[in-house]
Structure formats: structure tokens, C-alpha cells
């Protein structure tokens, strides 16, 4: 769509040099716009990967802490059972 519009505008020009180079100009500007779009999307992708990586670190820490809490709870219940509820032999 972009290329059709730009070529049409350049061909409508009264200057012969612009009309002769309309296709080259359109190709060059569209390639430049593609390059800029790729660079911007690359930056966005890098930012999102960093954000998602930090979320994963937070999730990993929470999971690790919940595992440690589970072990502490198990040990405390085991010790409580041994101390306050002796076995009937």
C-alpha cells in the first residue's frame, strides 16, 4: 500500500528526474522504513525478554521460598509430634 501511494505521488510530479527515479526512491524508502521497524521491534523484544526474565526470577524465588516453608512446616510438625504426643508402645 505504501509503495503504491508513494510511486503514484512521485509519478505525478512535474520534475522528470523525480519521475525517472520513482521506483528506486520508493524501494529505498520502504527498505529504510522496514529497517527502522525491525530495529524498534528488536528493542521492544529485548525489553520484553528482560521483563519476562525478571518475572521468572521472582516466580522462582517464590517457589523456592514456598518449598523451604513446606520443609520448615514438616519439621516443626514432626518435632511437635515427637515432643508432645509420645508414641504408645
Residue 89: per-residue pLDDT:
44
Which string of DSSP letters, residue by residue, matches 15-82? -HHHHHTHHHHHHHHHHHHHHHHHHHHHHHHHHHHHHHHHHHHHHHHHHHHHHHHHHHHHHHHHHHHH
For residue 66, pLDDT beyond 70? no
Mean of the pLDDT values across residues 23-34?
Answer: 91
Q: What are phi and psi of 80, to 5 degrees?
A: -60, -40
Mean of the pLDDT values across residues 7-28?
Answer: 89
What confidence tens digit (pLDDT) does each residue in 38-48 have?
999 989 888 88
Residue 35: per-residue pLDDT:
92
Residue 32: per-residue pLDDT:
92
Q: Which three cell numbers stand for residue 64?
A: 523456592
- Cα angle at 74 between 72 and 77, to 5 degrees? 105
Mean pLDDT of the chain, nearest integer? 80
Amino acid at each position: 500500500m505504501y509503495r503504491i501511494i508513494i510511486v503514484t505521488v512521485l509519478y505525478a510530479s512535474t520534475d522528470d528526474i523525480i519521475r525517472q527515479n520513482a521506483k528506486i526512491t520508493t524501494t529505498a524508502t520502504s527498505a529504510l522504513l522496514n529497517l527502522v521497524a525491525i530495529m524498534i521491534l528488536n528493542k521492544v523484544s529485548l525489553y520484553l525478554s528482560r521483563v519476562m526474565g525478571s518475572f521468572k526470577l521472582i516466580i522462582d524465588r517464590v517457589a523456592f521460598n514456598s518449598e523451604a516453608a513446606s520443609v520448615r512446616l514438616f519439621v516443626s510438625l514432626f518435632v511437635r509430634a515427637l515432643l508432645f504426643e509420645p508414641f504408645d508402645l
